[in-house]
Structure 1
Amino acid sequence: MSAAAPAATAPATASAAPVSWKVPATLSVLAAVALVVFGLFGSAQTAEFGISVSGDAFALPPVRVPGMATSLVLGVVMAALAAYSVRLKLAGRPTPGWAGPVFAVLFVFSFLVWVVASARTPSISLAGLIAGAVTLAVPLVFGSLSGVLCERSGVVNIAIEGQLLGGAFSAAIIASVTDSPALGLVAAALAGALVSMVLAAFSIRYLVNQIIVGVVLNVLVSGLTGFLFTTVMQEDPELFNSPGRLPIIEVPVLSAIPILGPILFKQSVVGYLMYAAVILVWVGLFKTRWGLRLRAVGEHPKAADTLGIKVNATRFWNVTLGGAIAGIGGSFFTLVAIDSFTKEISGGRGFIALAALIFGRWNPIGAFFAALLFGFADNLQAILTIIGTPVPSQFMAMMPYLVTVFAVAGLVGRSRPPAAEGIPYVKG
């Protein structure tokens, strides 16, 4: 009996996956940076964070914190979290899921305290920072939702940039010619769907490498919209490049709530559609029969086929739907942000949306919050330039891409794509 016991426990021990040092090491390095750079070398000035803005139903006093002392306290807390992660690793246990988000919030706030306290004008509107981050994240959210639908069905969507750009161009020219931003919004959805149909046709029907098709589509849409901008729009901008803007719709009373009001209840139609799209895609994916079939063809298409699901048809129409969603996101550039189209107006945000998709682990809610993080970094760089912080704005411009590297490298947790992603299905 005693000889058999080790043999019985050996397979269980061997099958246990080893815990990686990635998370403990990353938390330890970031905690050291926060403690030393933000704390010991931080400014002793008081950092002020405004909560209310003009037009709020009631005013909340700004939050004032001592720069160096606050960063030191936050650094100690982060160091304790990192030590806890290391201790769990040494015991062979993974870091709990709550530790990463908590650490991230502490690190971001410590960074904000450091840069604001070091600025010539040590004051920043927290409400404006968050509202601006949400606004800049709108096209990223739509692009990442497009990626969720495509990649959950098994098709790699590298063409998000082309879908956003095609949507922006179509919205501008149709809204200009018809003098109707609403029709421009519809045209944007159709343009994004058209780009996706090309992606679906070549990758699903003709089995062309999906990554190559996506890259080619990005280049094609960029060249085509650039050519039409030069030869058509610039020749008569009053007729072809004056789309107007979608109005900002304020919900009475609710839009005056400090911080939350402008974010949730003072948006354009595109902004409200963003929230609706996130909810609908999540509910559709995880709570409906359609979503079950969609995930089935992305995880195990052969098994789905044996159950009577038309794998390639399901992929084709969901890729098309994803393109329409990305096209609506593209309309944000020309119907909300500014009222005209320019070359490369999407500015590579399709690739940031792809990073948000990975960072959010192919989940609509996760992709939404990842897009908000990228929007936050994008908005922060502009605000830091205004208040005169010593941190170069170029460094902040790199932040979304640095987060992308962390996400792809798996330092924020293991991300597993759908099992059949990028693999064409040939019925046989």
Structure 2
Amino acid sequence: MRILLGQTLHYVANPFEGPPEEAVRHERRGAVAIADGKIAAVGPADDIRAAHPGAEVTDYGDALISPGFIDAHAHYPQTAIIASWGKRLIDWLNAFTFPEEMRFGDAAYAHEIAARYFDLTLAAGTTTTVSYCTIHPESVDAYFTEARRRGLRALGGKTCMDRNAPDGLRDTAETAHDQSRALLEKWHGVDRLGYVITPRFAPTSTPEQLEALGALWADHPEVLMQTHLSEQTEEIAWVAELFPEARDYLDVYDRFGLVGKGALMGHSIHLGPRERARLKEAGASLIHCPTSNTFIGSGLFDMAGLMAEGQTVGLATDTGGGSSFSMLRTMAAAYEVGQLRGTALHPAQLWWLATQGSARALHLDDRIGTLAPGMEADLAVVDLASTPAIAQRAARADDLWQAVFPTIMMGDDRAVVAVYVGGALVNI
């Protein structure tokens, strides 16, 4: 058994459903006990140490021991093109994304980028990722092989496109179905891995391909399905031209059995009332990607309104349309987007979105995302005074959240002093 000492926090309620401060239990001098890859106990340091006198102890002082961050929407193949300048969505895909993704039929290159991606995400304290791969099965194999080697909980799938994409990046309705099924059968449930059925978005799939992937999901309802929804206004207009029979963008997916519990709808910015009601009814998850939405100029996600409706929302970097691998920077961007919409998100809400909230969106909150006995011991230890600028502001804090907020707004990988995956300390 190993005991980690530091500040601890865990959520006892959703901080969007009541006073945020009352949703959290904080131990100024707390402890997390780890055994067999899981959390064995959480509580005051003196109590945990007394209960386990023979345990190995690591003292992180005033650092915050948190669940590892959960990135609910990313594109690991875009790692090398992150922060490419100057395009909106469709131009960005054509200029940067598609040329880079064409390289992932090369298994060696896919493995190189997968390794780099997990190096970067782990250094940022992220212990669970959900990624789009490319159309190439080699890209999926590289992602899962590298995640498995590191003991990570990781989700992802083959991105399916059979139109409006360059030669070399298109499959067919049949190959999308058959290759996705083969990869699902190969990887889903292996160690801590989960397959996700992945049509990129409606404009790059024919009705036949969407129908085939809807049938695959109906055959395997135990897996998740991810796609993009209502990211930019030009995209929405394009979808209306391609699918004139659909009532709206969401209805395109609904007609092919791709809306339901387990659906991860990336972005979901420009939603109409009917779409919002249908997403809530279906139990789909909306994934907020704030650095991407500002970087590519997509729009401002309605966090306050959607949460008030009872929608399920997760948080994500959207690497590499998103401009950072860090969930701290992503929390900061979510705060900024909220401010532009007239709602100041509380630090407790932001931290929840990056941990337990994203776990709920992925239907994994029974395993990850909170400090509680029996949960998988994926942890990030965060220094709340990692730079002089942060330290001088945190020194004036009157409570936990005043101490945490400067790290949310100004923190980066320097704030992450240790990461544990399945209870094992990771070299970052």
Q: Give the TM bin, normalised by the shorter chain.
A: under 0.3
Higher strand proportion, which one? 2
Structure with the larger RCO, 1 or 2 (CA within 8 Å, 6+ apart):
1
TM-score (norm 2): 0.24
Higher helix proportion, which one? 1
TM-score (norm 1): 0.24
